[in-house]
Structure 1
């Protein structure tokens, strides 16, 4: 099964937020999408998940065009996402937050709670189930957001800045979770991150977006050796090995 953005462009008046972007991802693999602030990374996620219409190009899920599908329909087809902000229902506890997602996907309340507890346990976070969402520490809020996206086994998961604001130790823990999502759940992961070192350590293939265009793609060696990537992030005078700490 595959997910593909094919020649996607997004224009707002005379400004092109995305310009002929093509990205592909298969199940059970991790692909990275990096780029400076304003490069268009979140716009890519919004296009894939139906929150933004492309000006041109096609989003294909297992070969089927999903351009005209609503976000809830895309989610039911097996494509899930997280958000930079947690977007939890602060008046509910964690279990209820997750159960709401399951009910929205067409499952019973009981079955949704079972799935939520299973996933929390899988992540080692079952102790969070009865805690109010409003009082969660930042890192736990992010973990709950990932569990919510994983409800009822999506084929693909789009992670939008999941390590933002995390310490190095917390980011390392997150890296292990992302690996397990791909390996144990056979879920394809598109990882969008400013933590370039995290992306390069996890991803089979990385796309680099700058000013709405893909300026480089390839494995870790190709990204670190790219003059275009180095200049986009750090300026031409910097050496490529500095990218690992960016």
Structure 2
């Protein structure tokens, strides 16, 4: 069985600036992964590379054994912020149907199967009763769940999310994390987040991105990370006989 994501010897940068250096990691099918790291550490760049939005010159990236640009049908993507005007006259169901565009026939009419898939996705995220509502009337948390439904409507094997709880309140945040935990029982979920405490409680493993990449079981992440304290760039790995943990190194006086 091919891993959901496999990255080998990846180095990426802009001009003379290296953003990611010698990155090697693997995400297995069915895992719930949290990607964490300080601002500017390379999290969003790594996600864009995985989705095939950035070309790489050094290294190799595979999605279920395929190059990213050949694996578009394997994953669904949920952005941090919706890239459209909320005042645009579109219903919640019409938004979710965007996830079915790859099956839309040339005459431009969605089939009953497409509509059923969109409604099932809305039911999964708890928004089926809002299917006919105007998109602009949704709260921040409802909007994020609608975007998750749009991604699910494409029937992905891998769900990629870029800080989906960044602009929602605590109640909506808890609902979204609970939803993602439930979804992770049947598809691979990769979540970029700054909510470290909740992520560590929810995910199977943590991928820490700060130019280089380190992978840890959630139980191995230093308690400082759970409080959102990266102490960047004072990060190192301490190799122990029975474990591999993050250790906070104090700066010189």
TM range (shorter): 0.7 to 0.9
2:143 pairs with 131, 141, 144, which one?
141
Q: How does 1:32-71 map to 2 (within 5 A)?
A: 32-64=34-66, 66-67=67-68, 69=69
- Other-structure match for 1:213: 212
| Structure 2 unpaired stretches of 5+ | 237-245, 247-253
The alpha carbon displacement at 1:218 in A equals 0.9
The alpha carbon displacement at 1:146 in A equals 0.7
- TM-score, scaled relative to structure 1: 0.83
The 10-residue stretch of structure 1 (136-145 or 16-25) with the greater mean CA deviation from structure 2: 16-25
Q: In the alignment, does 2:14 pair up with 1:21?
A: no
The 10-residue stretch of structure 1 (102-111 or 131-140) with the greater mean CA deviation from structure 2: 102-111
Q: In the alignment, does 2:85 pair up with 1:86?
A: no
Contact 2:77–2:161 (Cα < 8 Å) also in 1: yes
Number of aligned positions between the proteins: 228
Distance 1:188 1:233 in 2: 30
Distance 1:233 1:95 in 2: 45
Distance 1:139 1:189 in 2: 19
Contact 2:50–2:63 (Cα < 8 Å) also in 1: no
| Structure 1 unpaired stretches of 5+ | 241-246
The alpha carbon displacement at 1:231 in A equals 2.5
Distance 2:222 2:212 in 1: 18
Distance 2:191 2:7 in 1: 15
Distance 1:231 1:97 in 2: 40
Distance 1:48 1:105 in 2: 23
SS at match of 1:116: helix
Deviations 1:125-157 (A, max 9, x none): 112211122332111111111111111321101
Contact 2:38–2:230 (Cα < 8 Å) also in 1: no
Distance 1:91 1:36 in 2: 37
- Other-structure match for 2:152: 150
Structure of higher CA gyration radius? 2
Distance 1:219 1:42 in 2: 21
- Other-structure match for 1:243: none
1:169 pairs with 165, 168, 171, which one?
171
Deviations 1:108-140 (A, max 9, x none): 612221111111112211122111223321111
Between structures 1 and 2, the one with greater helix share: 1
Distance 2:24 2:224 in 1: 19
